[in-house]
Amino acid sequence: MTASIRILTIASLDSNPSLLVVSPDGSKTLINCGEGCQRSFLESASASSACVGTLRVSSVNRVCLTHIGHDTLGGLPGMILTTADVVDSIAKDLRGSKKSNHVGVSGSDNGQDGHNRGSLNDKIDRKRNGSLISDGDEGIPDLEIIGPEGINTFLHALRHFMRRDRFRVHAHEGQFDSTLKINKASTSLHGKKKAKRNKSKGTCDSEENGFSVKSIPVSYSIQALPMAKQAVSYLFTTPPIPGKFLVDKAQSLGVPRGPLFAQLKAGKCITFIDPSTNEERAVRSEECVAESSPGVGVAVVYCPTLEVLNELKQTDTFRALESFNIMGNKKSNERVELYVMVHLTPKSVFHDPAYRSWCKLFGTAVDHITLHTVETLEGRVMDDKNSPFVSGIIGGIRRSFVNSKLYPMPSLTVRNSSGDRIIEHAERDSEDFPTIEGCSMMDYVLMPRLRRGLNRSTMKSLYPENIIHDLKEQVNESGAVECAASVSSVREGHEDCGLDVGESDLGELIFTGTGSAVPCKHRNVTGMYLRMNNGNSLLLDIGEGTMGQLFRSWKSTLQSNQIAVDEYHSRLRCIKAVWISHPHADHHLGLLRLLSERAAVCAANDPIVLMAPPDLFAFLEEYRLVAPEINHSYLPVDCCDMIHGRVHPLGKKLYDELGITNCMSIPVAHCLRSYAVVIDGTSFGKVAYSGDCRPSNRFADVGFGADLLIHEATFEDGMEDDAVLKRHSTLGEAIDVATKMKAKSLVLTHFSQRYPKIPPMTRTKDIELETVVFAFDFMRLTPGITIDLAAKLTPALRLLYPDEGVDEGQTATEKTAANELMAIPGIFAVKGLL
């Protein structure tokens, strides 16, 4: 049996602490699901060690949340959608396979289909082993979510923009113990059916071969908030570990090999006829089985304040752990040996003498892993760690060598040549205790016992010392730099076109995400930051991870941390509006972080203008009941009320703050309440953005003469059928819209996961546009020459990625998963709207 803890992400500008607890039976529990969770799984899968095995979002069967906030549940809706869509698709295929077998079809007419069926059955078996697909229920998955009071309110609020009726989510609020049949505030759409099914199978809710979980909720107050919040810690335990069966001892007692051995191993007493004496003999199990060992315990402690610490000290759960780990005198069927404590605490709390004294009560045999949380944006900036999203950062570095002003190099701190990332504090006072600094992708082995401790193969730096030099050499060898330099007109005009630090009289457009549907390793989901000449800005869509990508982009142009703190606060205040194209999750899940962090640095009388479909406002109204920090943080404007030809409800405020002269929505064909937008008077002139849609003549008419068109291009040419089915556009169709619009420049974005780097483009001869640009994450455009520059650098970027169909950073498994995902017609769609 193997069990482990994997650290997925730590606190940084673009991530929050999360970890995975892998049970001996292979089931996986995710602790916190902030923005970027799906990207972290993809990164972790690439660096996966043998003790963890396959890592996919869909392999998680339980999520435990320590509190309610964007940092713990910002990625949860996306995870639910992805898991539901992928597993439900597999389940449907499985049902089809069962039906075919029922009518006597034993194989396929062609080898390819037969191969696919075998691969599918392997996946179904893996998911059953991970408790995601229940026998006898046609392969429909379950997901259990445990967390503080308010989780049910949050999950219920998600109905406004997502529905997966066949995907069961069981939510438990507050106090919870998985070994008990009845738990407080437990809800499930299929709870009665599941209970009946379990009863018929003779099963119960306790985990016999994996970790059971117990939540420890603590209520505490936060200044300036009208309500108390709950901080939830967790204890994961296995049953006592059975002792080894002593074969030699059993044989010496005359027990014949066979079924009697199994009965003794199961704890039963046996009787048999001794062949040497022909008399009946009785042998007790304890005579042939070594004494059992204590169960394994893992504590995840969320302690944001010393007030919470005082309450944790008084809980029966932690007092019992203190008693056993020091005395070891509990009954064998109740024994749990605490192996490790994972501390989700601010540094100020963890280093407080009261907290450290409490940690010492658990004994010297316990290891302590720190995953320090940050409570303020200033804390994130001053103590920023490298991004856990390695593939995206490496891609940004490579592009920066082609042109550093269009593609600023993402900030990076490299370690020494040893590459070790783990800090084990060996030098400490005699009264202190050992701690391990948690790092992204680090494994801690729990079982087998002989391997307990840090997995050394996961301790090397994600960014080795020579990574920048090595990447530069690779780019030089590709010929991309030489190709870029050969465009003499670009090079001569480029030197003075960049925006230096401190300038505020020149606009910019930063792409924080350029992918579709779900985050992938190389491209985040949709988001754009448009800054005006007066320094104020507007966000065009704000998918999951937008703010983290934006902060990381800003950091690349700011040298001093202190300057960065002031600048970040200023730029947050200067975000005056957000426009959201439609209610699909990949276009708005980053909103929770923006509203929360902006509210922390802005006065209550400075809300943003939020232009969105009404689904989002209904969701936010319910979300703020459990996250009151976003109260008064936005002014709602329904996109329907700003359709071309109507007077914008908050036009004067918007135009005064941004300096624009008009902002119009145009209904487009994608899902219900989908819009494109045309904005007049920006730093780029007239800007048109399509959102997600099929090609629209009306959009082309309203945006006629646009200086800049940003258009989705989800699919390559030749995939028109897919584009029609999913109501997206191909590259060629986007170019057709730009031609009809007479747009001066076209930026293509929102690429399918099939194109993690640069999509193929076969149509070039009949393009009437001055420039066509392929967008990348972290790409930064300024008005004028840089747009032209970006288009002319496309050949250099193609040299940087010579084989567009092959991604050397993407495994065959990941490619298969991406293709399966994109094959689902309703991915991220509201049910019934496509």
Q: What are 609-659's pLDDT values in tens digits?
A: 999 999 999 999 999 999 999 999 999 999 999 999 999 999 999 999 999
SS3 169: strand
Our count of domains for the chain comes to: 3
**What is the pLDDT, as a whole number, of residue 619?**
96
Q: How many percent of the chain have pLDDT more than 90? A: 50
Can you tell me the distance from the alpha carbon of 555 to that of 550, in angstroms, rounded to the nearest whole number? Answer: 9
On whether residue 828 sits in a domain, the answer given is no
* 458, 491, 512 - which closes a domain: 458
Average pLDDT over residues 375-389: 87
User: 145 pLDDT exceeds 60?
Assistant: yes
Tokens 């002014």: give the residue. 635
On whether residue 690 sits in a domain, the answer given is yes
Q: What are 778-803's pLDDT values in tens digits?
A: 999 998 778 888 888 888 888 888 75
**What is the pLDDT, as a whole number, of residue 546?**
97
Lowest-pLDDT choice from 15-29, 144-158, 257-271, 704-718: 257-271
Angle (CA) 608-613-618 rounded to 5° is 80
**Within this chain, do residues 453 and 484 fall inside the same structural domain, yes or no?**
no
User: DSSP of 640-662, one letter per residue?
Assistant: GGGBTTSPPTTHHHHHHHH--SE
On whether residue 396 sits in a domain, the answer given is no
**Within this chain, do residues 433 and 506 fall inside the same structural domain, yes or no?**
no
On whether residue 165 sits in a domain, the answer given is yes
Higher pLDDT: 834 or 587? It is 587
Higher pLDDT: 310 or 381? It is 310
**What is the pLDDT, as a whole number, of residue 112?**
30
**How high does pLDDT run on average in the chain?**
81
**Within this chain, do residues 282 and 299 fall inside the same structural domain, yes or no?**
no
Lowest-pLDDT choice from 15-19, 476-480, 673-677: 476-480
To the nearest 10°, report the CA torsion of 204, 206, 208, 212: 170
Lowest-pLDDT choice from 376-390, 477-491, 798-812: 798-812
Lowest-pLDDT choice from 38-47, 131-140, 394-403, 718-727: 131-140
**Within this chain, do residues 603 and 724 fall inside the same structural domain, yes or no?**
yes
On whether residue 397 sits in a domain, the answer given is no
Average pLDDT over residues 797-822: 55
On whether residue 422 sits in a domain, the answer given is yes
Average pLDDT over residues 666-686: 96
On whether residue 402 sits in a domain, the answer given is no
Q: What are 167-210's pLDDT values in tens digits?
A: 788 999 999 999 886 665 544 434 444 444 444 333 334 445 68
**What is the pLDDT, as a whole number, of residue 789?**
86
User: 484 pLDDT exceeds 60?
Assistant: yes
**What is the pLDDT, as a whole number, of residue 51?**
43
Q: Are 479 and 512 in contact (CB under 8 A)?
A: no
Lowest-pLDDT choice from 190-194, 288-292, 819-823: 190-194
Average pLDDT over residues 39-53: 66
Count Cβ atoms within 10 A of the Cβ of residue 600 and give its class: 0-12 exposed, 13-18 middle, 19 or more buried: middle
**Within this chain, do residues 205 and 270 fall inside the same structural domain, yes or no?**
no
**What is the pLDDT, as a whole number, of residue 234?**
97
**Within this chain, do residues 142 and 252 fall inside the same structural domain, yes or no?**
no
Higher pLDDT: 808 or 652? It is 652
**Within this chain, do residues 121 and 188 fall inside the same structural domain, yes or no?**
yes
Phi-psi region of 533 (alpha: psi -120 to 50; beta: other; left: phi over 0): alpha
Q: Are 34 and 73 in contact (CB under 8 A)?
A: yes
What radius of gyration do the chain's Cα atoms show? 29
Higher pLDDT: 511 or 464? It is 511
Q: Give the end-to-end CA distance of the chain in Å, rounded to a whole number.
A: 46
**Per-residue CA distances from 271 to 253, 291, 604 (Å):** 12, 21, 79
Q: How many percent of the chain have pLDDT more than 70? A: 77
Model's pTM, two decimal places? Answer: 0.85
**Within this chain, do residues 433 and 564 fall inside the same structural domain, yes or no?**
no
**What is the pLDDT, as a whole number, of residue 277?**
82
Lowest-pLDDT choice from 80-89, 505-514, 582-591, 727-736: 80-89
**Within this chain, do residues 166 and 119 fall inside the same structural domain, yes or no?**
yes
> Which residues are CB-contacts of 43 (< 8 A; sequence separation ≥ 6)?
388, 389, 390, 391, 440, 441, 521
**What is the pLDDT, as a whole number, of residue 364?**
87
On whether residue 408 sits in a domain, the answer given is no
User: 679 pLDDT exceeds 80?
Assistant: yes
User: For residue 639, what is the domain's CATH number?
Assistant: 3.60.15.10
* 287, 316, 348 - which closes a domain: 287
Q: What are 468-478's pLDDT values in tens digits?
A: 999 999 999 99
**Within this chain, do residues 175 and 308 fall inside the same structural domain, yes or no?**
yes
For residue 199, the enclosing domain spans: 3-241+293-373+415-458
* Sign of the alpha-carbon dihedral angle for 746, 751, 756, 759: negative
Higher pLDDT: 646 or 557? It is 646
Average pLDDT over residues 121-142: 41
392's tokens: 């995206």
Backbone angles phi, psi at 124, to 5 degrees: -60, -45
**Within this chain, do residues 187 and 234 fall inside the same structural domain, yes or no?**
yes
**Within this chain, do residues 265 and 231 fall inside the same structural domain, yes or no?**
no
